[in-house]
Amino acid sequence: MKHFCSSSVSEDLGCRRGDFSRKHYGSVELLISSDADGAIQRAGRFRVENGSSDENATALPGTWRRTDVHLENPEYHTRWYFKYFLGQVHQNYIGNDAEKSPFFLSVTLSDQNNQRVPQYRAILWRKTGTQKICLPYSPTKTLSVKSILSAMNLDKFEKGPREIFHPEIQKGSVNFKFGVLFAKDGQLTDDEMFSNEIGSEAFQKFLNLLGDTITLKGWTGYRGGLDTKNDTTGIHSVYTVYQGHEIMFHVSTMLPYSKENKQQVERKRHIGNDIVTIVFQEGEESSPAFKPSMIRSHFTHIFALVRYDQQNDNYRLKIFSEESVPLFGPPLPTPPVFTDHQEFRDFLLVKLINGEKATLETPTFAQKRRRTLDMLIRSLHQDLMPDLHKNMLNRRSFSDVLPESPKSARKKEEARQAEFVRIGQALKLKSIVRGDAPSSLAASGICKKEPWEPQCFCSNFPHEAVCADPWGQALLVSTDAGVLLVDDDLPSVPVFDRTLPVKQMHVLETLDLLVLRADKGKDARLFVFRLSALQKGLEGKQAGKSRSDCRENKLEKTKGCHLYAVNTHHSRELRIVVAIRNKLLLITRKHNKPSGVTSTSLLSPLSESPVEEFQYIREICLSDSPMVMTLVDGPAEESDNLICVAYRHQFDVVNESTGEAFRLHHVEANRVNFVAAIDVYEDGEAGLLLCYNYSCIYKKVCPFNGGSFLVQPSASDFQFCWNQAPCAIVCAFPYLLAFTTDSMEIRLVVNGNLVHTAVVPQLQLVASRVKFNQKICTRFHLETSWAEASNDL
């Protein structure tokens, strides 16, 4: 039995689809610190996040809300090898790529989070980093290593499995160490701040909020570089566990103090080598403000400035990020004031963890990581390649079939698997004992309702859904039995019978229109209907319309169409582009003044078909038939509109006015599965998310200038890879939702970072709708109920 569920984002996240601003993540400023005489000491460029100083400011679309606080790229995804491979039966392959650089490939067949959904997981290690993908499992179709490497755009390889493990081969860290620096009112140099022997009552209250005070001597948990044997780094420290991450705070007033050493080298040795530092500054808001340039450190990239308002019992937060650090969330609230202390702790820890992960992507750290990874892989490659025929674990010949072994080699395979598991489990235990992996999975964050929590919409739907679109509170669904109106668990109402096989539809309630594409071989056409006329027929208990009943609703020139797209953003004029093989047909709806609409309806009250309201503008010929098509609004109301099309191995943009096509992106892959091209608007300027295979690329779309179009790299461009190849993608700001046949992967629009993965067997997206200042709803079709779904964080 099928279920319809809706995943609703709370109303305070309501935002026009794909409309966002990076201004919510701060702006870059040149910060200069001076001495008492006004001489410049140091300067640096930092991105400053300060929310808004206006207490009565109205929250803009895209600003922070409580449900926006997420750990980005959760460590159980970046450390797949530790979680899914080490100590489990899996296969490893070693070889060289086309540039003769060595690589490692690890493949395992596992159950997807105990949801009875077996799937392959694969990790490819190269000097440039790691690539991780999931592939569906089919009991009737074997999967070859060659096909896995092909999915990762790698074709040349050598055989030779061997168990490998090294903590440094994993990107990122499970545990974190953050500096905490106490600054008195009026202190403007790091020597003054580090020389504070003790903190204040407010500072101690803040430390108690961060975590527990622990005794270092004999401490067995994560130590963050502190001495736990001889008290050389202090007697106490502050420690906590947050969502599986152990965090040690290097507190300036708890580290050794020296009256003779004014620079407090011992304190600076720890805090100065932390990527992230919290600065707790006392004093009024009008007091001289802290600047990162006051701190002499080439290692610290992020400063979190915390002030406590004792009169109002609230915390104010300000974030400084070195210019090269990529954007990371959550964005600060407007204004950045927290009256709920537990909520502030939750926000601060998530912001700091995300900030350290983002810093590891800066050129300084990325180059160092690449060099380390390259040296490690080359070293392992040299050690393993001469030994491939000597070790018992490496006698296994190259096999195209991963899940099973030939019956004749079953005993040998069982021995090999047992040895793999024994060695892996020993390494895993050793890693946990020495603190390279979390010993506790406890989460200490506050419980909050997630914005993607599901709601059952229809629990008993007997048909296969082809496509759908919301109509009011109901859902218009195309099935093999016709088009039905589904409303909760009420009986479905037929709107069109099975003679009109609808493959694509758009319900445009504000325009009182239904646009749909009905496919029946060469006779495929586009149809347009008035929703009010359909509603009148439903109220009159009329039978579902047949294809012959819809003759007056055909858009005649659309015969043979295989795809269409409408603009649903910004522009007041409805535009439709219809693809008929390699030909694009541009159609618009004629403008009518309100009085004209009224007079027309009075003169022809029986005219139910809106066909006469549409006009054909022009035809555009492409070099091939488009597989994906999206309309992009230009900067002006009626000019510079674009059509993004995907065909062959490329994404192009087409000027609606001239028909000229320009290359936007070329896909370097043997096989291409185009998924979507999603229009997003950053501060009113158009951009496109291009999705194909496992990849998603964001490109800023430059406006036309004098008829020419420029595709230029932009600092805001970025790309990422999905963990599983999506079948469909939806943008519901601030999230991107990717749907596969058994999971939903959720990432942030602004940087592509992962925030959640939900396992939902037999999943199918059928409709999505984002309404301005209303709920963001995604409805989907699934085999099992959401109560059985679990996350993969």
Rounded CA-CA distance 132/725 in Å is: 11
Determine the average pLDDT of the residues in 357-380.
79
For residue 306, the SS3 value is strand
3-state helix, strand, coil in the chain (%, to 5): 20, 35, 45
CA nearest to 223, candidates 76, 430, 428, 439? 439
- Kind of pairing between the strands at 276-281 and 176-183: parallel
Residues above pLDDT 70, as percent of the chain: 72
CA distance to 39, 202, 269, per residue, from 187 (Å): 16, 17, 20
* Full-model pTM: 0.78
CA distance to 28, 278, 575, 740, per residue, from 633 (Å): 29, 43, 10, 29
Per CATH, the architecture of 77-171 is what? 2-Layer Sandwich (3.30)
Tell me how crowded residue 468 is: count the other CB atoms within 10 A of its CB: 26
CA atoms within 13 A on the CB side of 469: 16
Determine the average pLDDT of the residues in 206-210.
96
At residue 597, the pLDDT reads 43
Determine the average pLDDT of the residues in 170-184.
79
At residue 600, the pLDDT reads 42
Each residue's pLDDT tens digit, 642-658 = 999 999 999 999 998 88
Average pLDDT, the chain: 77
**59 pLDDT tier (thresholds 50, 70, 90):** very low
Is 441's pLDDT higher than 90? no
At residue 93, the pLDDT reads 76
User: Which of 59-73, 335-349, 614-628 is predicted with the least confidence, judged by mean pLDDT?
Assistant: 59-73
Of 313 and 591, the structure prediction assigns the larger pLDDT to: 313
8 Å CB contact between 371 and 377: no
Of 49 and 457, the structure prediction assigns the larger pLDDT to: 49
Residue extents of the structural domains in the chain: 46-53+174-360, 77-171
**791 pLDDT tier (thresholds 50, 70, 90):** very low
The distance of Cα 171 from the centroid of its chain, to the nearest Å, equals 18
Rounded CA-CA distance 112/123 in Å is: 16
Rounded CA-CA distance 353/338 in Å is: 19
CA atoms within 13 A on the CB side of 453: 6
Determine the average pLDDT of the residues in 150-179.
62
SS (H, E, C) 482-500: EEEEECCCCCCEEEECCCC
Rounded CA-CA distance 255/367 in Å is: 32
Calculated CA dihedral for residues 224, 230, 233, 239, nearest 10 degrees:
40
Q: Which tokens in the block code for residue 714? A: 């932009």
Helix-helix angle 201-210:341-359, to 10 degrees: 70
Rounded CA-CA distance 581/670 in Å is: 23
8 Å CB contact between 755 and 72: yes
Each residue's pLDDT tens digit, 383-435 = 655 544 444 333 333 333 344 445 555 666 566 566 656 665 665 565 555 44
Is 735's pLDDT higher than 80? yes
CA nearest to 306, candidates 266, 269, 275, 347? 347
Each residue's pLDDT tens digit, 511-547 = 999 999 998 777 899 999 999 999 999 988 888 899 9
- Kind of pairing between the strands at 661-666 and 674-682: unpaired
Beta bridge partners of 92: 106
For residue 460, the SS3 value is strand
CA nearest to 586, candidates 569, 568, 565? 565
- 534 membership: H or E segment, kind and range: helix 531-539
Highest mean pLDDT among 89-103, 448-462, 625-639: 625-639
User: Which of 87-101, 570-584, 624-638 is predicted with the least confidence, judged by mean pLDDT?
Assistant: 87-101
**789 pLDDT tier (thresholds 50, 70, 90):** very low
Each residue's pLDDT tens digit, 310-340 = 999 999 999 999 998 999 989 898 889 999 9
- Residue 134, judged by CB atoms within 10 A of its CB (0-12, 13-18, 19+), counts as buried
Beta bridge partners of 475: 470, 486
8 Å CB contact between 86 and 427: yes
Rounded CA-CA distance 202/205 in Å is: 5
Rounded CA-CA distance 654/566 in Å is: 15
The 10 Å CB-count burial string (b at 16+, else e) for 471-498 is beebbbbbbeebbbbbeeeeebebbbee
Of 281 and 33, the structure prediction assigns the larger pLDDT to: 281
Q: Which tokens in the block code for residue 403? A: 């899940």
Sign, Cα dihedral of 225, 229, 232, 236: positive
Q: Which tokens in the block code for residue 651? A: 């994404």
CATH of 46-53+174-360, one of 3.40.50.11210, 3.30.70.860, 3.10.20.30, 3.40.190.10: 3.40.50.11210
CA nearest to 712, candidates 737, 694, 687? 687
Tell me the residue type at 489: D
Rounded CA-CA distance 344/735 in Å is: 22
**58 pLDDT tier (thresholds 50, 70, 90):** very low
Determine the average pLDDT of the residues in 14-26.
58
Tell me the residue type at 87: G
**52 pLDDT tier (thresholds 50, 70, 90):** low
Is 44's pLDDT higher than 50? yes
Beta bridge partners of 746: 737, 756
At residue 624, the pLDDT reads 94
Highest mean pLDDT among 81-85, 673-677, 731-735: 673-677
Rounded CA-CA distance 34/11 in Å is: 46
Is 205's pLDDT higher than 80? yes
**685 pLDDT tier (thresholds 50, 70, 90):** confident
8 Å CB contact between 582 and 641: no
